[in-house]
Chains A and B, each alone.
Chain A
Amino acid sequence: MNIPADLRYTKDHEWAKIDGDIATVGITDYAQGELGDIVFVELPQPGDTFDEGDAFGTIEAVKAVSDMYMPLNGEITEINGVLEDEPETVNNSPYEDGWMIKIKMSDPSQADNLLSADQYNEIIGEG
Chain B
Amino acid sequence: MQESELKRTALYEVHKSWGAKIVPFAGFLMPVQYKGIMAEHKRVRTTVGLFDVSHMGEFQFSGPDAEKFLNKMTINNVAKLDIGQVQYSAMCYNDGGIVDDLLTYRFDDHYVLVVNASNLKKDRDWIQEHIPEQGVDFDDISDDITLLAVQGPRSLDLLKTISSESIEDIPFYHFIIGQIAGMDAVISRTGYTGELGFELYISRSNSLELWNAVVEAGQNFDLEPIGLGARDTLRMEMKYCLYGNDIDATTNPLEAGLGWITKLKKGNFIGRDAIIAAKERGLKRCLVGFEAIDKSIPRKGYPLFKDNLQIGTTTSGTHSPMLNRGIGIGYVSKNHAEVGNEILMETRGKMNPVKIVETPFYKP
Contact = CB atoms under 8 A, between A and B. Distances in A.
B232 interface: yes
B229 A65 contact: no
A62 B233 contact: yes
Interface residues of B, number: 16
A39 B229 contact: no
B229 A40 contact: no
Contact of A36 (B33, B232, B297, B299): B33
Contact of A39 (B39, B299, B319, B348): B319
A63 B38 contact: no
A116 interface: no
Interface string B158-202: 000000000000000000000000000000000000000000000
B130 to A, nearest CB: 37
Interface in A72-110: none
A63 B36 CA distance: 11
B297 A37 contact: no
B299 A37 contact: no
B268 to A, nearest CB: 41
Contacts of B229: 36, 62-63
B306 interface: no
A62 B318 CA distance: 6
Contacts of B36: 36-37
Nearest to B294: A40
A37 B37 contact: yes
B295 A63 contact: no
B348 A63 contact: no
A62 B348 contact: no
Contact of A65 (B38, B232, B233, B297): B297
Nearest to B229: A63
B38 A62 contact: yes
B319 A60 contact: yes
Contacts of A62: 37-38, 229, 233, 318-319, 321
Nearest to A67: B348
A37 B38 contact: yes
A121 interface: no
A58 interface: yes
Contacts of A63: 37, 229, 232-233, 318
A60 B319 CA distance: 9
Contacts of B297: 39-40, 60, 65
B122 to A, nearest CB: 25
A29 to B, nearest CB: 14
Contacts of B38: 37, 39, 62
Given A62-B229, A62-B233, A40 B319 contact: yes
Contacts of B33: 36
B295 A40 contact: yes
Given A36-B37, A63-B233, 16 more contacts: A36-B36, A36-B229, A37-B37, A39-B38, A39-B297, A40-B295, A40-B296, A40-B297, A40-B319, A60-B297, A62-B37, A62-B229, A62-B233, A63-B37, A63-B318, A65-B297
Interface of A: 36-37, 39-40, 58, 60, 62-63, 65
